[in-house]
Amino acid sequence: MPEGTAKAVLVLEGRVTGTRVLEARNGHDVLEISFSARGTFAGHEVEGSFTYEQEAISVNTFVGSGRAVLHTADGEGTLSLKATGATKRKEGATGLVWRVYAAVQSAAPTFAQWDGQLLDMTATIGDDQKISLRAVPWT
């Protein structure tokens, strides 16, 4: 979880839904990972789809960027996230802990106050392909 005492504005749990091997970049392996997740954003129940690319910098270190679309269950609020970050492998063959900074975009009245705001996010992916995301406002 990002440091500090700020309350989490984004709390999601999900699962990897797909992986693609992309062309190597600068001699580094590149993967595209997709996942879906459910939880809350700013007190609203949401679900979303995420896709990110990760480039292996070393055996245990990766950098990447991604996008997400989240929507409320009633369809009244939609927002997108554009993110970039880095990760290091945790215990296990595929477990990762990402540190990510994300920009929020939304024209929906439900999330209007978040448009243009930045989030400080931690994403944990286990060997079981389950994902948890937690974010606080980046101040």
Residue 113 domain-assigned (yes or no):
yes
CATH number, domain of 43, equals 2.40.160.20
Is pLDDT above 70 for 58? yes
> What per-residue string of b and e applies to 28-50 under the rule 16 or more CB within 10 Å gives b?
eebeebebbbebebbebebebeb
Domain count, the chain: 1
Q: Quick check: is 21 in a domain?
A: yes
pLDDT mean over 116-123: 96
| pLDDT, tens digit, 9 for 90 and up, residues 61-98 | 999 999 999 999 888 899 999 999 999 887 666 778 89
What global pTM score does this model have?
0.88
Domain holding 52, by residue range, is 10-137
What pLDDT score does 76 carry?
87
